[in-house]
Structure 1
Amino acid sequence: MALRPAHLNIKALDASAVGRFWAEALGWSAYSAGVSTYVGPAGGLVWPDPVVVGIDVVPVPEPKTATKNRVHFDLATTSAAHQAELIARLKDRGARPVDVGQGADVPWTVLADPEGNEFCVLEPREIHRDTGPVAVMVVDCADPRAMARFWGEALDWTLHEVTDEHALFRSPKGVGPYLEFLRTPGVKTVPDRIHLDLLPYPGDDKEAEVSRLRALGATDLDLGQGDVPWTCLTDPEGHEFCVLALP
């Protein structure tokens, strides 16, 4: 048994506007699915997508309060010209440069979306040539090796590299983005504005998966969600995530 990332969940004051921004950023489409806005590849809503990890933008009444999110996206580019064009286009759509301590000499650019969620537009890298527009989903952490142990058991994704500085996962199909747990100063003090939603495979039992995650070190989380078909948990460093019910 194992789970797969179904999408990244972003909380937003204006889910429609944030969804449109990310659709523009990724060259995807924004689909209105109830109160949330789902962002995925153009051509019609497919969920769960067999290749990409989509984005589900969910309206909430609270604005972003953290100085820096503990979860963010890195966007892929194919050339220096593409990187410059993407940065300029996103600034025109409401992105703004932000300083998260990256320094002046890094080859990537750090921006924030219209509600302040940070993301990086990377320089071209060979490792990201076939990821699609999202190169990496990055989770700040204190102990990448411990995160590799937990998430390596939680997910069916392949661990490509683990060091004291980071742990890097990708789908065993060799498609879509990477998931990176990056050693980062600071500690988590507020709920994550962005989190992973996980999904069982057909034929697997959701409650059995949740029990397995608890045995691995996950903790139940009460956000006032009430009686819902998904289960909210936190990993050993307190990052929130949800286990969804099969569609």
Structure 2
Amino acid sequence: MTSHLFAVCFGANEPLRVARFWSEMLGRELVDDPHHGVMLLPGDDTGFRLRFPLVPEPKVVQNRAHLELTSDSLEHQRQTIARALELGARHIDIGQLPEESHVVLADPEGNEFCVLGPGNTFLAGCGFLGDLSCDGSRAVGYFWCEALGWPLVWDQDEETAIQSPLGGPKITWGGPPLMPNGGRDRVTFDLVPGVGDDLRVEVDRLLALGASRVGDGHDGSLVLADPDGTEFRLVTHPGAA
């Protein structure tokens, strides 16, 4: 019995604006989402959905998770950056060094993302959307490996990564030192129980793995937190598929 990752959620003040940006960047279809307004579907079975729930609070601190886009060549990297800027992104400085090959940008609502240079062997074969890179401990990487049933594909120097058995983007955790939480996380996971699974049994399983219960969501979901304290939701009625 395992939960399934239904979507990675980016809380937004203007969900449609941010969703349109990422729809254009990733070439993904934008669909209505009864519970969250808008959602992007993956291009195939290997990717995860992107949801953009409405949040009233403005973004004031750096996200603890960000998307990373891959490049086939330096020209491809330049084209991706130019396209992002044309769609409303901007350059930002989060302490990256001049000699680093990646370029750090922010989408129209300030969500950080990286456009990586060519030759990144770690994300080879993952696709244009290479990974969701998270701030987090080794323990939380192990937690999500067990929670989702995704293989652990990297475990070195307290850095971990998991990937769907079908392939596609990875989810990575960088290990210590960890960023302060800074309040409400804007990047979160929506999980759904497996078909036919008993919700109470699945909640007990996640708690046994190291999650903690936070409370009930307004839409009937259950709000939990992983071992690092990052909230996620167990959704019984995920809406549009």
Give the CA deviation at 1:92: 1.0
Larger mean CA deviation between 230-239 and 123-132 belongs to: 123-132
Aligned to 2:52, what secondary structure does the other structure show? strand
Give the alignment partner of residue 196 of structure 1, picking from 189, 193, 197.
189
Q: Would you say 1:167 and 2:125 are equivalent positions?
A: no
Residue equivalent to 2:229: 238
Give the alignment partner of residue 53 of structure 1, picking from 48, 58, 72.
48
Residue equivalent to 1:117: 111
Give the alignment partner of residue 85 of structure 1, picking from 79, 85, 89.
79
CA RMSD of aligned residues (A): 1.8
| Contact 1:27–1:41 (8 Å) recurs in 2 | no
Distance 1:195 1:137 in 2: 11
Give the CA deviation at 1:202: 1.6
Residue equivalent to 1:36: 37
Q: Relative to 1, partners in 2 of residues 1:70 and 1:184: Cα closer, same or farther, differing over 3 Å?
A: farther
| Contact 2:142–2:152 (8 Å) recurs in 1 | no
| Contact 1:78–1:129 (8 Å) recurs in 2 | no
Identity, % of aligned positions: 37
Give the alignment partner of residue 64 of structure 2, picking from 52, 70, 73.
70
Distance 2:55 2:148 in 1: 28
Q: Would you say 1:219 and 2:212 are equivalent positions?
A: yes
Q: Would you say 1:154 and 2:154 are equivalent positions?
A: no
Give the CA deviation at 1:196: 1.3
Distance 1:10 1:81 in 2: 29
Q: Would you say 1:177 and 2:169 are equivalent positions?
A: yes
Distance 1:87 1:167 in 2: 28
Distance 2:176 2:105 in 1: 18
| Contact 1:4–1:157 (8 Å) recurs in 2 | no
Deviations 1:26-60 (A, max 9, x none): 11122122352101246xxxxxx632101011112
Number of aligned residue pairs: 235
Query: What TM-score, normalized by structure 1, do the two folds share?
Result: 0.88
Tell me the amino acid that sits aligned with residue 237 of structure 1: D
Which stretches in structure 1 are left out of the alignment for 5+ residues? Answer: 43-48
Residue equivalent to 1:46: none
Give the alignment partner of residue 136 of structure 1, picking from 131, 138, 144.
131
Distance 1:89 1:176 in 2: 23
Distance 1:17 1:190 in 2: 24
Give the CA deviation at 1:204: 2.1
| Contact 2:7–2:191 (8 Å) recurs in 1 | yes
Aligned to 1:221, what secondary structure does the other structure show? strand
Aligned to 1:12, what secondary structure does the other structure show? coil
Q: Relative to 1, partners in 2 of residues 1:52 and 1:183: Cα closer, same or farther, differing over 3 Å?
A: same
| Contact 1:200–1:246 (8 Å) recurs in 2 | no
Query: What TM-score, normalized by structure 2, do the two folds share?
Result: 0.90
Segments of 4+ moved more than 4 angstroms: none
Distance 1:235 1:169 in 2: 15
Distance 1:235 1:64 in 2: 22
Larger mean CA deviation between 183-192 and 81-90 belongs to: 183-192
Distance 1:162 1:194 in 2: 23
Distance 1:158 1:32 in 2: 31
| Contact 1:107–1:123 (8 Å) recurs in 2 | yes
Tell me the amino acid that sits aligned with residue 92 of structure 1: E
